[in-house]
Amino acid sequence: MKKPSIKSKGTRTTGQGLPELFHFSFPKIVNEKAARSVAGVVAVMSGITLLTGSYWILGVLAIGFWLRVGYGPKFSPLALLATKIVAPRLGAKRDAPGPPKRFAQAIGAVVTTGGALLVFVFSIEGAGVVTAWIMLAFSSLESILGLCVGCKLFGLLMRMGLIPKEVCLACQDIRHL
């Protein structure tokens, strides 16, 4: 039996006592223009990392990716900027399925976290260079060409049956993924 929601200081909570605001959630439908805007900033930040050797930027990118994976644009300053300010100025909203974008964000989170850990824990500076190049390449593809490699991989995994169809009902026509 589902426990009823309770009110606490004007914030809805669940039976576990966590405010709904902090529940993991990701939009089922996202604005493609906002996603491409986020990717553009990731590309710029990755380029700055390469030009300056400021590998701490990988940590900032990792935190942003994890926030977007867990909560969508709710807590990510970059995603909020993209959804509230940049994307509306790019014209009409273009809807895209959310689960493939979340999957792509998760790949970015793992790659940037791994790169940052290799640099700062194990002092492998070359890992920072490789990570920044990977992020620059893939985020540029999405930002400039609208090619989300993580989304393509998501579609492939769906076709292989490794991701159940129920995960993304909007992806049933996965030819575009």
Give one DSSP letter per residue of the chain, joined into a string: -PPPPEEETTEEE-TT--BGGGS----SEEEHHHHHHHHHHHHHHHHHHHHH--THHHHHHHHHHHHHHHHTTSS-HHHHHIIIIIGGGGSS--EEEHHHHHHHHHHHHHHHHHHHHHHHTT--HHHHHHHHHHHHHHHHIIIII---HHHHHHHHHHHTTSS-GGG-GGGSSGGG-
Per-residue pLDDT, 24: 59
Q: What is the amino acid identity at position 91?
A: G
Per-residue pLDDT, 121: 97
Contact 137, 127 (CB under 8 A): no
Per-residue pLDDT, 13: 37
Per-residue pLDDT, 83: 87
Per-residue pLDDT, 7: 38
Per-residue pLDDT, 33: 94
| Number of Cβ within a 10 Å radius of residue 61 | 27
Q: Which residues of the chain have pLDDT under 70?
A: 1-24, 172-177
Give dist(CA 131, CA 45) in Å, integer. 12
Per-residue pLDDT, 17: 53
Per-residue pLDDT, 3: 42
Per-residue pLDDT, 125: 95
Give dist(CA 26, CA 18) in Å, integer. 17
Q: For 69-86, how does the pLDDT look when each residue is reduced to its tens digit (9 = 90+)?
A: 998 888 889 888 888 899
Per-residue pLDDT, 170: 79
Per-residue pLDDT, 12: 38
